[in-house]
Structure formats: structure tokens, C-alpha cells
Amino acid sequence: MARLYITIVSVWVWFVLGACLLLWLPVLAVLRVVTAPFDRGRYWIGLLFRQVAVVTSTLNPLWRFRVTGILPENPRHPYVAVSNHESFVDILLMSHLPWEMKWLSKVEILRIPVLGWDMWLAGDVPVQRGTAKSAVKAMRRCREILQQEKVSVMIFPEGTRSPTADLLPFKDGAFRLAIEAGVPILPMVVHGTGTALPKHGWRFGRSNAEVRVLEPIETTGMTVADVPALRERVRTLIAQIRDEMRSCDPAGSVS
């Protein structure tokens, strides 16, 4: 009986997500035209697009999401936000944050009909894995977003979801970007999303998930030579806070 309930809920939630993506598309397209003269960074379009995730997660009776920590006072102060990566659902959870960020995403996702079109309109940044030229282009675009458009950028420094409970090594890109753009790193920790959508499955699970926003780390005065130390400092901090969150909620571990 429980499996049947989860199956029904999962079908319902996927339907809600698809319907919202479709309904949002013409609205985002119109807003793109209307706001283009005064919102080059597509801040408000992106913020509206993230509400797809908020609506979807709110209508999922299996999930309880919360935002905790130290939220930035000025939503237009740009950061390079970084977080551990447990599940696809991390994106839905972090969309509850009350400010807009442009997401660095695999180009394959932006090629998905409707979802990809919404992401293009919202101004998310595509990158092709394993292609140096694409990575350079993506980082250049991220610097423009941070420095010229004053919008934060979100990057998962692990590069992909960890298949175990352990953090993967962090890549340099996010930390080099923050130093070169002269903006702080904003560390965040997600916990509990691993059970929300088990890897390689389509049925959702029960989840009491949290995203915790930590204090920003300034990069003023740093150079590219400081990237390794900054990277490991942030990774150690995220791992420490994640372990503390797990010790308080052992049922929410990665599945």
C-alpha cells in the first residue's frame, strides 16, 4: 500500500513539474521582452522561474523543505555560491532561497525541450563537460553576470552528485572564478535530499531536507595561487557542517 501511495504521489509531482514548466514558458518569454531594457541580468525572470521548484515541492506531500543560516542582506550583492550535491532535488530545495542565482548547468540539460527553454530565458549558463573551450566560455559568462549584472552564480564544485555519503573532491573553477571576479564565496550545505529522489529512480521518497547558508568568505587580496587553499578551506567547512547536520538527523542520509 505504501509503494502504491508513493507511486501515485510521484506521478502527480512529475505532472505538476511538467505543467508548471510549460505554463511558465510564455510568461518568461513575455517578461524577457518587457524587462530587457532595465534588467539585463534577468534577475526577476530567474527569480520567477525558480518558483516552479517551490510550487512543485510544496505540492509534494512527501517532502518538507527548510532554509536556515545567515541569509545575505542585499540580494543583489554578487556571490559565487557553492554547495555539496546529494541529489537532483538539491536544485528544487535551493530554489527556496529568497534571491536569484544563475546556475552553471550541463549543456545537455538546457537542450531538453521546455525545461531547457525556461533555463535559457532565465539566463542560466551552459557548459559542456570535458571541453576546455566550453568551460572557458562559461566562466567568462559567469564573470559578466557577477561583475556587470550584479547577480550571484551557483556552482556545485563536486561537478556531479556523489554516489556515496562522502564528498567528492572539489574542482577549482568556482574558487578561481570568485577570486578573478573579486566577489566572496558563499558556502551552503544541503542535507536530506538524497532520500527525496533515490539515484536512478523516478519515484520520490520521504525527505525532511535543509539548505543551510553559511557566512560568506571574502576573496579580497587573493590571487590564483590561493585557489587550492580556498578550495580546501571551503570543502572542509561544508563537510564539517554537513556531518553536524547528519548527526542531528541520521534518517536523512544519502541513499
Predicted structure pTM score: 0.92
Q: Is the pLDDT of residue 225 over 80?
A: yes
Report the number of distinct structural domains present in the chain.
1
Sign of CA dihedral 211, 173, 234, 152: negative
User: How confident is the model at residue 112, as a pLDDT?
Assistant: 95
User: Tens digit of pLDDT for each residue in 103-147?
Assistant: 999 999 999 999 999 999 999 999 988 788 899 999 999 999 999
Nearest to 83 by CA among 214, 220, 178: 214
Sign of CA dihedral 15, 18, 23, 24: positive
How large is the average pLDDT for residues 155-181? Answer: 90
| ∠ CA 139-143-144, rounded to 5° | 120
Measuring CA to CA, how many Å separate 123 from each of 54, 191, 230? 19, 27, 27
Nearest to 192 by CA among 95, 63, 13, 55: 63
- What residue spans of the chain are helical by DSSP H? 2-35, 43-58, 89-94, 107-110, 115-122, 132-147, 173-181, 227-248
Element (H, E) at 186: strand 185-191
User: How confident is the model at residue 250, as a pLDDT?
Assistant: 53
Q: For residues 90 and 85, give the distance between their C-alpha atoms in angstroms, rounded to a whole number.
A: 7
- What residue spans of 63-187 are helical by DSSP H? 89-94, 107-110, 115-122, 132-147, 173-181
User: Tens digit of pLDDT for each residue in 20-64?
Assistant: 999 999 999 999 999 999 998 999 999 999 999 999 999 999 999
User: Tens digit of pLDDT for each residue in 171-192?
Assistant: 999 999 999 999 999 999 999 9
User: Tens digit of pLDDT for each residue in 14-28?
Assistant: 999 999 999 999 999
Nearest to 63 by CA among 26, 126, 120, 13: 13
Q: Long-range pairs for 137-145 at CB < 8 Å and ≥24 separation?
A: 138/104, 139/173, 139/176, 139/177, 142/80, 142/102, 142/104, 142/177, 142/181, 143/177, 143/180, 143/181, 145/41, 145/78, 145/102
| ∠ CA 40-43-46, rounded to 5° | 120
Host domain of residue 154:
2-252
For residue 160, give the amino acid letter. Answer: T
